[in-house]
Chain A
Amino acid sequence: MIRTLAWKEFRTLFAQPLAWVILAVVQFVMAMVFFWYLSQYFEILPRIQQLANPPGVTEVVVGGSFYFAAILLQVAVVLLSMRLFSDEYRNRTIALLLSAPISSTEIALGKFCGLMLFLLIPVALLTIMSASLALGGVVDWGLIGANLLALVLLLTAYSALGLLISSLTAHPLLAGFGTFMALVFLMLLNILATDPNATSNYLSPLNHFETIAKGLIDTANLSFLVIVTTTLLVLTSKILDRRRMQG
């Protein structure tokens, strides 16, 4: 059932020009960024070779690109998640889902998976770009894997947040704006943190993304993102139930 809903959502995204534009722009920007990091790497290469433990090409280029993608894809999450429920409310199509023999949890999970499926496309393309470094040198596959895992987990948390905010209003723009502000706030918690161990920094998903992307794949960081995502999805299904109560 979740698969049916996710597949429908995935196809609906492709029915909008917005999704194609997002894919094209993200891919274009990411290619530019990737190339920029690569040229930067060659520029600093003579200097860093003096170091005792110089950063490798994977760390500089892949790490940099994935971090940039984490910031850039926030915009994609905002634009793609804002319609997920708002449009259903506005067009009254939500009645179709609510009258069908499916639970609110299935509805929320279905939509979430559909959005994630779409977001995996730019992530996959970025991973392929990163893997292409192997054509000309030695890459740290483990680090690429860590970056990939970190980005996917970060996007699940962001998507779940976008989904929740979309389930609160029938106005897609309001939902989009709300998600955007929430994501900017969470990002600033990390970027503006003077003390890396501050609580505010700990609350930012971006902080956990960075730690995992560095290769520090520990339970604390993984479970933070997983718990945030799960909580937001549970809340979304509760909101759907509540709408049934309030009408």
Chain B
Amino acid sequence: MPQPTDITLSAHRLTRRYGTGLAVAELDLALQRGEVLGLLGPNGAGKSTTMQMLTGNLAPSSGSIAVCGIDLLEQPLLAKAKIGYLPETPPLYREMTVDEFLTFCGRLHRLPSIELGSAVQEVKARCGLADMGRRLIAHLSKGYQQRVGIAQAILHKPDVVILDEPTVGLDPNQIREIRTLIRELSANHSVILSTHILPEVEAVCDRVHIMHQGKIVFSDSIEGLRRSQQTETLLVGFSRPPTLAEFQNLTGASDAQILEKGLFKVHCTADSTRAETITQAATAHAWGLTQLSPERTSLEDVFAGLTRTEEKNSQASV
């Protein structure tokens, strides 16, 4: 069990109302040191609102937030010193050079003048900005601007780094670099990352919270998330296909469906022997098996399933 001191960021019953609507409803969250937490959800699920509250940009309607044990609402300045935040739109002053901007950010976070220079150099090296110091931010490409955004978030070595959709709008190479950077960050910082891209969560996160309509509808480790979707689908193809009824009878797969001519879709759990039964039946009746491939439920399906069930539930409760 982790010690209580290992919790760098915790939120308790965090709620945010906009007029009559609830953007975030009674959200609980705890982040351990060295952990990367993915906040996943469709657009408008309340991810950005949550992050704005966690960074003190937005006051919660109710609930509490503590950063390394310091209450964010009661001692905002002390708590904010321990947070690095990259909002959805990187907050960059376009008319400044990278060096000027990062130096300014360092001063904002009250880094002592002696450490400032080396801190800027270090963060530039880490974010691949070493040769960009004298460039105007306005002249940088989107990918480099995003790196400057990340650089300002980690410059003062905060305990918690909060990144709101850090890879949005980047090309695949840049996405890979940013993901590597985030993994590296988790060595010394706790990271919260929001995204609506599932592979991103799989690639970088240790734990995932799926948000929908302001609530956390799923919360587990990445392994847990993968385990929860063990139900797999088999795609079976034949060159001399049986009829659906024949197939169902001979293989015992009563839920089989025909996708197209000669291609069946069969549900099977990971530990069942259905694949074996199908192969045996296919050989015995000379159907000419051409394909037997597992179609693993993608995270997208889980995600869609979770968010759709929620909708049904909420409709039912109305």
Contacts and interface: CB of A to CB of B under 8 A. Distances in A.
B85 A93 contact: no
B95 A12 contact: yes
A96 B91 contact: yes
A231 interface: no
B93 A93 contact: yes
Nearest to B152: A96
Given A99-B56, A247-B52, A247-B58, A93 B91 contact: yes
Interface in B132-173: 152
Interface string B93-118: 11110001000110111100000000
Given A1-B110, A101-B110, A96 B105 contact: yes
A102 B93 CA distance: 18
B110 A95 contact: no
A245 interface: yes
Interface stretch (B75-83, B175-183, B186-194, B300-308): B75-83
A87 to B, nearest CB: 9
Q: How large is the interface on B (under 10, 10 to 19, 20 to 34, 35 or more residues)?
A: 20 to 34
A92 B107 contact: no
Contacts of B100: 11
Question: Chain B CB within 10 Å — which of A5, A94, A99, A103 has the most?
Answer: A99
Contacts of B109: 100-101
B230 interface: no
A15 B104 CA distance: 15
B290 interface: no
Contacts of B78: 101
Interface of A: 1, 4-5, 8, 11-12, 15-16, 91-103, 244-245, 247
Interface of B: 16, 18, 49, 52, 55-59, 76-78, 80-81, 83, 85, 87-89, 91-96, 100, 104-105, 107-110, 152
